[in-house]
Amino acid sequence: MAPPAPRYVEILPATEADLPALAALAGDIWRQHYPGIISREQIEYMLSQMYALDTLREQLRTQGILFVRLLVAERFVGFASFGPQPELGVMKLHKCYLLPEFHSQGFGSRLLQYCESECRRLGARRLVLAVNKRNVKAITAYQRNGFQVAASVITDFGHGFVMDDFLMAKELATNEN
């Protein structure tokens, strides 16, 4: 039996033209990954708020948030977004998602490392993120990539839903060796 063919990986900037596919992929990922972490009702509500095309366009056009797409063998399987925070030298990882069938293969770490590199290139010294406290798989992946829990917060998301998150942070090295 021949070994599996190597998987060609690309991480590319996302443009406005990519946003409908990104929103659709988010729906696929969330509906597969989040049951058992948050309710189906909360999943659908948060998707409708966070991934409405107008919301994504606004983030891209006016909030300085950059989106990137992860392609494996030319298939769009994950994405991330990051942008500046009010505190100088700090960037926030807003989104970092990968289809569950691609978990535990190094693709998420590769996407995260790309975002870290871009944030560093843009002058960030620290990268922060929020992750649901019950999302053990993601917390473990972030810790494996050098993030540490910095705080615990509960944020009202509206419609009777809250985000019960850990805030995690990672100091970014000023040089890449």
Q: Establish if 62 belongs to a structural domain.
A: yes
Q: Establish if 149 belongs to a structural domain.
A: no
Which domain, by its residues, includes 33? Answer: 9-124
Q: Establish if 100 belongs to a structural domain.
A: yes
Look-up: residue for tokens 């998301």?
157
Report the distance separating Cα 80 and Cα 126, nearest Å. Answer: 17
pLDDT digits (tens, 9 = 90+) for 110-138: 999 999 999 999 999 999 999 999 999 99
Q: Establish if 88 belongs to a structural domain.
A: yes
pLDDT digits (tens, 9 = 90+) for 46-89: 999 999 999 999 999 999 999 999 999 999 999 999 999 999 99
Contact present, 121 and 66 (Cβ < 8 Å): no
Q: Establish if 107 belongs to a structural domain.
A: yes
Q: Establish if 34 belongs to a structural domain.
A: yes
Q: Establish if 152 belongs to a structural domain.
A: no
* Full-model pTM: 0.91
Amino acid type, 145: N
Contact present, 119 and 164 (Cβ < 8 Å): no
Residues 144-171 have a mean pLDDT of 96
**CATH code for the domain of 62:** 3.40.630.30
Contact present, 41 and 65 (Cβ < 8 Å): no
Q: Establish if 2 belongs to a structural domain.
A: no
pLDDT score for 177: 45
Handedness of CA 45, 131, 65, 107 (dihedral sign): negative
Look-up: residue for tokens 């990922």?
29
The number of domains in the chain is 1
